[in-house]
Structures are given as structure tokens and as C-alpha cells.
């Protein structure tokens, strides 16, 4: 069976036991092969371009440069590789930074061997594999706070303000008078207990009112 058609995988993970466990898992699975395996980004940087992997399994807690910060650099070295984060960390900030930096999937380390293999396959097929809890957090990030004190119109106007539009322009686009927009804004400020555009936007975003 030709190994050229196999999906080639690189691993960047500092824990030797885990790294070799993954390498063994992937190496013995038909259709998959290991192109390289490194304990840090610095080590990977030298050779990974030649490895030319299809998928990179990346840990977030690495010695030296962190996995999160390594993502854009890996993208430059191997632009067509998919990066799959594999980590114990489930902090929202980390997840969103990883995805924002260009990761195509995010798995936690309790993921079963079969699921890791299927995630590698899935990412090659245009999917975005995530552990269940991660997926929920990602979905949750799209959702609004139902208990907003703002009325529908106030919310609409605050959203417009958050796009940088002036009150005058908002008035024109909503076909209402500038004075009306000002009234709404005053009410918004009172309800949110703020005294400026920036603070209103911040409070509203923090509380998912917009």
C-alpha cells in the first residue's frame, strides 16, 4: 500500500510519553503516517517545512514559545497544514485565541484514540473537530443575554454606535430624528450607568446585551 496517499501528521508536544503515544497511535493506523515529532516549536521550526505535513497536532503548553503563539508561525512555515490543538486547557480565552490564530480544531486530552484519528480525518474533509464542551463554549459565545435591560430600539441603536457611526448617520439610516437618537442614548447610558460611548459599548459587550 502506497504511503504517499497516507495523511501525514506532525506532533508538537513536550511530554515524551504522550508524544510517543500519539506517534504510535498514528503510525500503526492504516492511512496515516508520522512526518515528524517535536518537543517544542523551536525544534519543529527547523524541519517541519520539509516534513510538509497535512495535519499538525499541537499542544498549548510548550517550553519556549507557547502553542497558541506558534500557530501563526506554523501557518507561515506550512501554509496548507491544518492545525489541531490537543490540550488539557479549556479556558475560553485560550480557545478563542487558538481559533483566532488559525487552528482548525480543538481537542481536549481525554479524547479517545479513535476520536483523535477521526478528528484528523475530519479536518482533512473540511470539518472543524472540537470536543463537546469546547463546541458548547464556542456556540455560547454567539448568544445574547436574554435579561438585557435595553429595549429593542435601544439595543439596535447601541449596535449602530458600536459600528462607529455618528448619531446623525444613525438617525438618517433609521429614519428618525437626531433628537430621538439622542434620547435613546441618554436612556441607554442611564440604564447601563455609564457616561460615554466607549463605556456603554464595553458594558453591553461584557454582558452580552449586544
Residues engaged in binding DNA (CB under 7 A) = 151-154, 166-169, 174, 176-177, 179-180, 182-186, 189, 195-198
Distance (Å, whole) CA 16 – CA 37: 10
149 binds a second copy (CB under 8 A): no
User: Binding to a second copy by residue 105, rule CB under 8 A?
Assistant: yes
End-to-end alpha-carbon separation of the chain, Å? 55
Q: Identify the burial level of 96 via C-beta atoms within 10 angstroms of its C-beta, where 0-12 means exposed, 13-18 middle and 19 or more buried.
A: middle
CB-based contact 156:187 (threshold 8 Å): no
Q: Is residue 129 part of the contact set for a second copy (CB under 8 A)?
A: yes
Nearer to DNA, 47 or 195 (CB): 195
In 3-state terms, what secondary structure has residue 33?
A: strand
Q: Using CB under 8 A, which of the segments 22-30, 59-67, 179-187, 190-198 binds a second copy? A: 190-198
**Cβ pair 116, 107 in contact under 8 A:** yes
Rounded to the nearest whole angstrom, what is the least distance from the CB of residue 202 to a second copy in the complex? 7
In the complex, which residues of this chain contact a second copy (CB under 8 A)? Answer: 72, 75, 96, 99-105, 122, 125-130, 132-140, 142-144, 146, 161-166, 169, 196-198, 200-202
Amino acid at each position: 500500500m502506497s504511503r504517499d496517499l497516507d495523511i501525514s501528521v506532525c506532533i508538537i508536544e513536550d511530554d515524551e510519553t504522550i508524544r510517543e503515544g500519539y506517534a504510535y497511535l498514528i503510525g500503526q493506523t492504516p492511512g496515516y503516517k508520522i512526518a515528524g515529532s517535536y518537543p517544542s516549536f523551536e525544534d519543529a521550526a527547523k524541519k517541519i517545512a520539509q516534513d510538509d505535513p497535512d495535519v499538525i497536532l499541537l499542544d498549548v503548553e510548550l517550553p519556549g514559545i507557547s502553542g497558541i503563539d506558534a500557530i501563526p508561525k506554523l501557518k507561515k512555515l506550512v501554509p496548507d497544514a491544518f492545525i489541531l490543538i490537543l490540550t488539557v486547557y479549556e479556558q475560553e480565552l485560550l480557545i478563542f485565541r487558538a481559533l483566532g490564530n488559525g487552528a482548525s480544531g480543538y481537542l481536549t486530552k481525554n479524547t479517545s484514540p479513535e476520536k483523535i484519528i477521526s478528528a484528523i480525518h475530519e479536518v482533512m474533509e473540511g470539518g472543524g473537530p472540537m470536543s463537546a464542551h469546547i463546541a458548547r463554549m464556542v456556540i455560547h459565545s454567539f448568544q445574547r443575554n436574554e435579561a438585557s435591560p435595553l429595549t429593542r430600539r435601544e439595543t439596535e441603536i447601541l449596535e449602530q454606535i458600536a459600528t462607529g457611526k455618528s448619531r446623525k448617520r444613525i438617525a438618517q439610516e433609521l429614519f428618525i430624528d437626531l433628537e430621538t437618537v439622542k434620547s435613546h442614548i441618554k436612556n441607554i447610558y442611564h440604564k447601563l450607568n455609564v457616561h460615554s460611548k466607549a463605556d456603554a459599548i464595553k458594558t453591553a459587550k461584557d454582558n452580552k446585551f449586544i
